[in-house]
Structure 1
Amino acid sequence: MKLNHLLCLVISLGLLSCIQQSEASKTTNRNLSKLEQKKEADFKFWVWTGASKERSDSAYTAEYKKYSENGIDAVLINTNTDPGLLARLTPLAKQEGLEVHAWIMAMNRPGDSIALQHPDWYAVSREGNSTFDNRPYVDYYQWLCPTREESRNHVLGLVEELSKVEDIESVHLDYIRLPDIFLPVGLLPKYDLKQEEELAEFDFCYCEVCLSEFEKMHHKDPRKMENPALDIEWKQFRLNRIKDVVDDAYEIVHKNGKQLTAAVFPYPEMADHMVRQRWDKWKIDQVLPMIYHNFYNEELDWIGFATRQGVEDLSAKETKLHTGVFVPAMNGDQLKEAILQAKNNGAKGVSFFDGGALKPEHLEVIKAVN
């Protein structure tokens, strides 16, 4: 009799354990299924967001849950190139059904403890000033040279470390360019500037390595040109050096089973003109052009215009375009219009800058449009 009771107890405990495991499995599977559905969705919503070691896991879980429950599919996380922090946060975001992308400030490396030990790694202006200790526009502009082997390998090494983090979808390059030769027109009053031509103090990179490499190729010295802005080979040389970094990063991240994505200027011709960045020529999987209409004193329909320009420039490539929008400049109705402008002009999704700026009215719109 006691044996029968014991047998019943064992069976009951076994059944209870199976039920608990089944429920846990269902929860995990629901989140994984949600993630798979989002991967297959025709239109994706992304958000740029930051991170710090000091925040608790529960705080991150609450943040990621808020995004997921309101229709956002992917988070681009800036961990200040800390792969350990990224590895900690990735499963938390994935548990909420989100894709994870490792957001890195690439050529602009303010406060980089390794780079700061090498003053010669930094980009130099036509005036001869290095961003190591003479920074254009703002104090956090410390740009590395894309030509010098040591500086570019440092950036690529950071990319590789991030790309090795398990379960991320991509390494996301930001500031993958040279400093602004022209600021967006809406920002000029902030710096009390007029930029009607290429000014020497904002024209980079005139370091000894770039000048030497260019002279080997083209047998001329940009410092001796009457107007270097008119020399197409000199501009193309610098465009190509940025492209080289991107193309090498592409090979590295793909070797590690990840994609390469990037935050870029609104459309290729504009990026070429403003920051030495011609992203329609790159080897890259997805681009997120920052079409921040208010920076350029433009109306909301400019988001559609700039999106269409980029989509058409990428028409012969497999690279997908997702429009980036600046949330603080918009209320809920305006955000809805921005999303529709992007969607109706060929974007595959929209990315929001940034997570901290998303108010309840914005989240309601994102959820409803989705």
Structure 2
Amino acid sequence: MQLLKIAFFSLALMFVSCNTNEKSKEQTENEKTAVKEPRFKYWNWITVGHKKSDSAYAAHFNKLKSYGIDAVLINSGADPKLLKRVAPIAKKAGLEVHAWMFTTNRPGDSIALQHPEWYMVSRSGKSCFNKDERPYVGYYQWLSPSHSEARKHILSLVEGLAEVEGVTSVHLDYIRYPDVYLPIGLLPKYNLEQEEELPDYDFDYSDASVEKFMALHHKDPRKMENPAIDIEWKNFRLNEIKSLVDEAYDIVHKHNKKLSAAVFPYPEMADHMVRQRWDKWKIDMVLPMIYYNFYNEELDWIGYATKQGIEDLEGRPTELHTGLYTPKLSNADLKEAIQMAKDNGAKGVAFFDDYTLSDEQFEIIKASKE
């Protein structure tokens, strides 16, 4: 009997040992395949197309990874087929993939262009559908978030990208109204002065928007003497963007993805300039485009705007990653800008370069990695 007990315990120990070894092997394999989340993430906005070969994309993505880039925001024109082709190449290079899309501004959208009534209209009665009536530039083709069919179309594009395997987040760009105020540094380009809300740049007075507002507040913004001072009218438009973002959030989370967005520098400024109050959104990550030279500010404004956004997000789960416009940054300024973002609480930095980063800038980015 004693010998039988010894044999039984020996077998039990062997089983436990083998099982532990298997778990250890499995754990080691999982550790190998898991991508470690960087303490401070480096992002890169990039546009892709059908003409470039897979090998060319592989070479570019490998280059980005070798210089310290952790994540790519890929603009495929909201084409899930193209994204399905390119995303695995970026993933293989060790990059996190985010599906970047134009949201309320939908230039060249073949479906939307069949529906003139989907487009935003200015206080002066100009429609973003008409080529010669668009504000500032020809690609400003803004859909109204108040038009139910236009909204459904936008959200269908969000869902199409969210369904792509390997995507971490759907990244909303142009998730706002047209600029009621341009960044001050850009005004000379258009020979403009904007000291008040001008009728040609104040949107959305489309039928869908006005009817929806009137049902809520029983007044017509088209008949207001000075709609700029009507807080309900302003808040209505802020809430139209917020509700669109919140719906997109629910859609992408249904597919186990996250929602991110490129936004104006900090919430109060975004509110004033483009009807975008991003500190109130349901969203996982924001990448404020702190392009200080657009606003005739000095370099340290990057730190100021980063800190302001962090403070406005206090108590919310949203991460902030500072967006930098690299074509206007000298090598010394790029190094300092990255450090300012770190020092003021950002979780990372995103570089807008679209293939224009120089080798010297890449070296600075690589050297700044912890």
Within-5 A mapping of 1:167-246 = 167-246=166-245
CA separation in 1, counterparts of 2:360 and 2:331? 5
- SS of the aligned residue for 2:234 comes to helix
Equivalent residue for 1:150? Answer: 149
Q: How does 1:337-348 map to 2 (within 5 A)?
A: 337-348=336-347
What amino acid maps onto 1:93 in structure 2? A
The DSSP-based 3-state class of the residue aligned with 1:124 is coil
**SS of corresponding position for 2:339:** helix
Q: How does 1:178-327 map to 2 (within 5 A)?
A: 178-327=177-326
Hey, what does 1:11 align to over in structure 2?
A: none
**Which ranges of structure 1 fall in alignment gaps of 5 or more residues?**
1-28
Following the alignment from structure 1 to structure 2, what is the Cα–Cα distance between the partners of residues 121 and 209? 8
Distance 1:327 1:35 in 2: 31
**Correspondences of 1:344-355 after superposition (within 5 Å):** 344-355=343-354
Where does residue 71 of structure 2 map in the other structure?
74
- The amino acid of 2:236's aligned partner reads F
Cα deviation 1:208-266 (Å, max 9, x = unaligned): 11111111111111111111000010000000000111000000000001000000000
Amino acid in structure 1 at the alignment position of 2:93: E
2:113 aligned residue: 116
Q: Is the 8 A contact 1:331 1:361 kept in 2?
A: no
The alpha-carbon deviation at position 33 of structure 1 amounts to 4.5
> Partner of 1:355: helix, strand, or coil?
coil
Q: Which residue of 2 aligns with 1:331?
A: 330
In structure 1, give the amino acid aligned to 2:280: K
Q: What do the CA deviations read for 1:53-85 (whole angstroms, capped 9, x no partner)?
A: 110001000110111000000000000011011
Paired residue for 1:42?
39
Instruction: Give the TM-score normalised by the residue count of structure 1.
Output: 0.90
SS of equivalent to 2:167: coil
Give distance in 2, aligned partners of 1:35 and 1:363: 26
Identity of aligned residues (%): 62
Q: How many residues align?
A: 339
* C-alpha contact (below 8 Å) 1:77/1:101 kept by paired residues: yes
Matched residues in 1 for 2:45 and 2:340: separation? Answer: 20
Q: CA deviation at 1:332?
A: 1.6
Q: 1:101 — aligned with what?
A: 98
Structure 2 matches for 1:84-95, cutoff 5 A?
Answer: 84-95=81-92
The 2-side partners of 1:99 and 1:166 are apart by 12
Whole-Å Cα distance in 2 between the matches of residues 108 and 270 of structure 1?
20
Where in structure 2 are there 5+ consecutive unaligned residues? 1-28
SS of structure 1 residue aligned to 2:317: coil
The one-letter code of the counterpart of 1:50 is: T
SS at match of 1:357: coil
Distance in 2 (CA, whole Å) between partners of 1:117 and 1:208 is: 17
Distance 2:267 2:174 in 1: 15
Q: Structure 2-normalised TM-score? A: 0.90
- Whichever residue aligns with residue 52 of structure 2, its letter is R
User: In the alignment, is residue 137 of structure 1 matched against residue 140 of structure 2?
Assistant: no
Partner Cα distance (2:34, 2:303) in 1: 28
* Cα distance in 2 between the residues matched to 1:230 and 1:197: 11
Return the alpha-carbon distance in structure 1 between the equivalents of residues 156 and 336 of structure 2: 40
Instruction: Say if 1:205 and 1:96 are closer, same or farther in 2 by CA, change over 3 A.
Output: same
Give the deviation of 1:34 after TM superposition: 8.0
2:122 maps to amino acid: S
Q: Say if 1:34 and 1:49 are closer, same or farther in 2 by CA, change over 3 A.
A: farther
User: 1:175-214, CA deviations, whole angstroms, 9 ceiling, x for partnerless residues?
Assistant: 0000000000000000000000000000000011111111
Question: Which string of whole-angstrom CA distances, capped at 9 and with x for unpartnered residues, describes residues 91-150 of structure 1?
Answer: 111111100000000000011000000000000100111100021000000000011100
Q: 4+ residue stretches of structure 1 with deviation over 2 A?
A: 32-35
**SS class of match (1:48):** strand
* Residue-by-residue CA offset, 1:27-63 (whole Å, 9 max, x unaligned): xx79x858612x2x21000000010011000100011
- Separation of aligned partners in 2, 1:35 and 1:350: 22
| Contact 1:79-1:85 at 8 Å conserved across structures | yes
Conserved? CA contact 1:34–1:97, under 8 Å: no
Deviation at 1:272, TM superposition (A): 0.1
Is the 1:47–1:76 Cα contact (8 Å) retained in structure 2?
yes
| Candidates 39, 56, 61, aligned match of 2:58 | 61
Contact residue 35 and residue 99 of structure 1 kept, 8 A: no
Shift of 1:355: 3.5
The one-letter amino acid of 2:124's match is: E
* Alignment partner, residue 124 of structure 2: 127
Q: Could you tell me how far apart the structure 1 residues matched to 2:253 and 2:262 are?
A: 18
